[in-house]
Structure 1
Amino acid sequence: MSSRLTDSEYAAGKALDSVRRRHDAHLDDCLHLAVSMRSFRAENVSAFVKALLDCEKRQAREAFAKLADRYPIAVTRDLNLAKQWIRDHARGTERFGMVASSKAQRLKPHAVDIRVDVDPVHWFLNDKEDTRSSYYLEDAATEFQVQGLELDWACVNWDGDLRFTGSGWSFHDFRGDSWQNIKNSDNQVYLRNAYRVLLTRARQGMVIFVPSGEPTDPTRASPYYDPTFNYLTDLGMPVVA
């Protein structure tokens, strides 16, 4: 196995230690798949997303600058503008769609309900006239439904489950009528990696929707969203407004 599986994106710490203790385990860096073969336009997308989620601002800015001309990424507070952005960028039969974390429970006021059971077959394969297809931009697929699959253009809906704090992330799960802190470190890794999946689904570009929040709704308070939006723009993402 590769010895280079210690990066945060692999979340392999305990498993790696266990395998290394086996007498028949051998390390060989020739086995390490360091270059993504998925995206034909953006070799730096994975590096950018990794730096973004690791809160390595300098590396994220540098990676973004390298890919911005070939792989458009934008951010917005308006979901309708996000939908129009990907419609404007997609050409011909290029497939586009919305994605969201499986813990994104407070996107419902924006008509994004991740509890809707999306059928990946219809979502990925049906044409633009089918309301069940990704083209319709009504149903958002979660990390479980898009893992290992791709779109040409993606609208990533970012909820208050993963929040930028200024120096790192806070992790949250919506239970009952309020957000609860996720304290288990493994579950924190799972949530961050869910966003890694969502942010690497598009072959050609993506727009990220971060809600503005609602002052009359304590479950959608602006402080849950504003720091994340400001962080993304600070990395160089243009704002669609």
Structure 2
Amino acid sequence: MAGMLAGLRHETRDALHLAVSVRSFRAEKVSEFVGALIAGEDKSARALYQEIKATYPIAVTRDLERAWSWLRSRARGSERFGLVASSGAYRLKPEGLNVSQDLSATHWFLNDKSDVRSSYYLEDPATEFDIQGLELDWVGVCWEADFRIVDGKWSHHKFSGSAWQNVNNEHRRTYLANAYRVLLTRARQGMIVYVPRGNPNDPTRQPIQYEATFQFLLDCGLEAT
């Protein structure tokens, strides 16, 4: 840089030096936001989201088709988008989202929009195992009742047989929270969270298992669509 400025009038100001890239700064703030959300601190999460919302949009919806439209409308050119869900999200299956099905990471991450196995088709959600350490431009996070708000706090659950069971083991509780932390930090440019409405006729998908979670996400500052 000094050579390029030789012979020209110039002034060096160290205070204007970008020691950290804009994207790194945003990623740090997104991580802080997700940390507050996972900790159940809605007020802190809302304040942090205000700092990034202009450049990193996050929306929440109860309609899967709206989540699809939101992702498709924001991706430009070759920007990649896809759905993610926790490996324990077994009752998303009635919504057409089957986390039990083996996912080919190569096809999902690399194939183009014409391939039904690719992330672009928004049919096969990647789990925390599939996507850890990797990123997409835009992500749709499909929220399940395994990690839900109950009485204002996160409640941890595991689907076993034909019913949800409480997770009491502290290590497993931490693991589940971290699984959602991974899912919520996979997007480079923005994300939408899909929270199902549930079904009052299905004891494994009661609306009450999802409604408080949706409200909590709104309290964290996310905009409903």
Pick the structure with greater CA Rg.
Answer: 2
Give the stretch that moved more between structures: 166-175 or 201-210. 166-175
The aligned residue for residue 60 of structure 1 is 45
Q: 1:39 to 1:144 in 2, by over 3 A?
A: farther
Q: Which has the higher contact order (CA 8 A, sep 6+)?
A: 2
Is the 1:39–1:204 contact (alpha carbons within 8 Å) kept by the matching residues of 2?
Answer: no
| SS of the residue 2:158 aligns to | strand
Q: Does 1:82 align with 2:54?
A: no
| SS of the residue 1:141 aligns to | coil
CA drift of 1:121 comes to: 1.0
Is the 2:115–2:121 contact (alpha carbons within 8 Å) kept by the matching residues of 1?
Answer: yes
TM-score by length of 1: 0.82
1:115-126 alignment runs, 5 A limit:
115-126=100-111
| SS of the residue 2:224 aligns to | coil
In 2, the alpha carbon distance for the partners of 1:57 and 1:110 equals 28
Q: 5+ residue gaps in structure 2?
A: 1-19
In 2, the alpha carbon distance for the partners of 1:189 and 1:122 equals 31
CA drift of 1:55 comes to: 1.1
Look up the equivalent residue of 1:190 and give its one-letter code. Answer: Y
Residue in structure 2 matching 1:224, options 186, 194, 209? 209
Q: 5+ residue gaps in structure 1?
A: 1-34
| SS of the residue 2:197 aligns to | coil
Residue in structure 1 matching 2:35, options 44, 50, 57? 50
CA drift of 1:57 comes to: 1.9
1:62-211 alignment runs, 5 A limit:
62-211=47-196
CA drift of 1:41 comes to: 4.5
Percent of paired sites with the same residue? 56
Look up the equivalent residue of 2:91 and give its one-letter code. Answer: R
Look up the equivalent residue of 2:130 and give its one-letter code. Answer: Q
The aligned residue for residue 10 of structure 2 is none
CA drift of 1:235 comes to: 1.4
How many pairs are equivalent?
206
In 1, the alpha carbon distance for the partners of 2:21 and 2:142 equals 24
TM-score by length of 2: 0.88
Is the 2:34–2:181 contact (alpha carbons within 8 Å) kept by the matching residues of 1?
Answer: yes
